[in-house]
Amino acid sequence: MSNITVRNIPQELLQKLRMLSTLGKRSLNNEILMVLEKGIVKESESVTYFKDHLSKDTQIKIWKNLCGRWEDSRSTSDIIDDIFDSRSEGRNIFL
């Protein structure tokens, strides 16, 4: 995964992000990722050509480059436990 640094975050925005992360029982980093993801979805819906902007071949190349990149030293059961432990209340998921 890539890392970025965001500078000059207005204090008011940072306070809102911290409040949302506390309410959602998520880390500040995870909250920022969720806000970005939701924002990108919303933005992409407003751009009519977004879905068709990349050719099918380009999309396939991107997905192939992503395949097999996940690395984790934890066992599968540890990863699953972490996922369940990080869920907020109100969502019942059965596997």
Question: What is the 3-class SS of 5-26, one letter each residue?
Answer: CCCCCCHHHHHHHHHHHHHCCC
Q: Is residue 93 part of a domain?
A: no
Contact 32, 17 (CB under 8 A): yes
Q: Is residue 29 part of a domain?
A: yes
Q: How far does Cα 30 stand from its chain's mean position?
A: 7
Reported confidence tier of residue 78, pLDDT bands at 50, 70, 90: very high
Q: Is residue 77 part of a domain?
A: yes
Question: Taking the CA of residue 53 as centre, how many other CA atoms within 13 Å lie in the half-sphere pointing to its CB?
Answer: 7
Q: Is residue 22 part of a domain?
A: yes
Q: What percent of the chain has pLDDT over 70?
A: 85
**The pTM is what?**
0.47
Q: Is residue 94 part of a domain?
A: no
d(CA 76, CA 33): 23
| Residue 30 parent element (H or E) | helix 28-46
Give residue 20's domain range: 11-86
Q: Is residue 35 part of a domain?
A: yes
Backbone angles phi, psi at 3, to 5 degrees: -120, 145
> Does residue 49 carry a pLDDT above 80?
no
> Does residue 51 carry a pLDDT above 60?
no
Average pLDDT over residues 31-56: 77
Q: Is residue 27 part of a domain?
A: yes
Domain count, the chain: 1
